[in-house]
């Protein structure tokens, strides 16, 4: 779904560097999410935001931080990257509760991050 | 805490044969279950959700609360069904999804 975009699509960095991954959406959804995907582990939730003033930790938030700059933008930062943060990162959005499709999440194309 | 289990990491099926991808969940209340699919070089997308009780691309999934299962089935596999499939669970008013570890389905021509 081209309404959810992520930049960069690929990034190679070194241990200790600060990295920011960006997500933008034109779907007008309030809810946004960051996941990481690792082989054999599926998708794990890092952070989520239900509106601009609401930020919540997911199951694996250590080593990450986020910023919800606007309804349409949700950034994920790795303050000091380490090799075990090498993964595929996905952003997703969803509508608020009470709408017909709530619960359905719409995913971006992913960012492949390699930390050397 | 809720949990989703997909016991098969890899599943290979011949074209035309029936397909069943297993999903079990642990949650004592009334869950919402979803199947998401990721085709090669495409983004993860919703395949179907149990409350819609629909068939998408020939796939169906029935929620069995007694067995806490939501298995995905298709009577006749097609080559284009080859993909990664994730089962996901949403509980109560919580908007978060809990994903299983995924099953990579390969259809053998």
Instruction: Identify the helix (H) or strand (E) that includes residue B60.
Output: strand B60-61
CA distance B64 to B72: 12
Q: Which residues 41-80 of chain A have a CB within 8 Å of chain B?
A: 41-45, 48, 50, 58
Interval A11-53: pLDDT, tens:
999 999 999 999 999 999 989 999 999 988 889 999 999 989 9
Count Cβ neighbours within 10 Å for each residue of A19-54 and write b for 16 or more, e otherwise.
bebbbbbeeebbbbbbbbbeeeebbbbbbbbbeeee
Comparing A61 with A100, the larger pLDDT belongs to A61
Confidence (pLDDT) at B92? 67
**Which residues of chain A neighbour B32 with C-beta distances below 8 Å?**
103
User: Distances from the Cα of A39 to the Cαs of A65, B61, B62, in angstroms?
Assistant: 23, 25, 27
Q: Across the interface, do A103 and B86 touch by the CB < 8 Å criterion? A: no
- Residue found under tokens 């600060």: A18
> Which residues of chain B does A105 touch, with a Cβ-Cβ cutoff of 8 Å?
46, 97
A69-115 per-position pLDDT tens digit: 999 999 999 999 999 999 999 999 998 766 666 578 999 999 999 99
**Which residue numbers in chain B have pLDDT < 70?**
92-94
Helices assigned H by DSSP within B1-109 = none
């Amino acid at each position: 779904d081209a309404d959810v975009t992520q930049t960069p699509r690929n990034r190679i960095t070194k241990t200790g560097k600060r990295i920011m991954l960006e997500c933008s959406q034109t779907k007008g959804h309030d809810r946004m999410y960051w996941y990481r995907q690792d082989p054999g582990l599926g998708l794990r939730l890092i952070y989520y935001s239900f509106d601009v003033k609401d930020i919540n930790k997911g199951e694996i938030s250590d080593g990450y931080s986020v910023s919800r700059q606007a309804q349409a933008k949700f950034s994920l930062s790795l303050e000091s990257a380490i090799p075990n943060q090498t993964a595929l990162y996905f952003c997703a959005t969803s509508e608020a509760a009470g709408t017909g499709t709530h619960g359905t999440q719409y995913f971006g194309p992913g960012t492949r991050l390699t930390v050397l | 805490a809720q949990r989703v289990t997909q016991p098969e990491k890899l599943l290979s099926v011949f074209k035309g044969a029936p397909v069943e991808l297993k999903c079990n969940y642990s949650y004592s209340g009334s869950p919402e279950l979803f199947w998401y699919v990721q085709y090669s070089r495409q983004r993860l997308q919703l395949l179907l959700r149990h409350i819609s009780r629909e068939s998408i691309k020939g796939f169906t999934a029935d929620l069995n609360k007694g067995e806490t299962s939501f298995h995905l089935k298709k009577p006749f596999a097609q080559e284009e069904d080859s993909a990664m499939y994730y089962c996901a669970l949403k509980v109560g008013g919580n908007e978060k999804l809990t994903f299983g570890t995924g099953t990579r389905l390969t259809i053998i021509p």
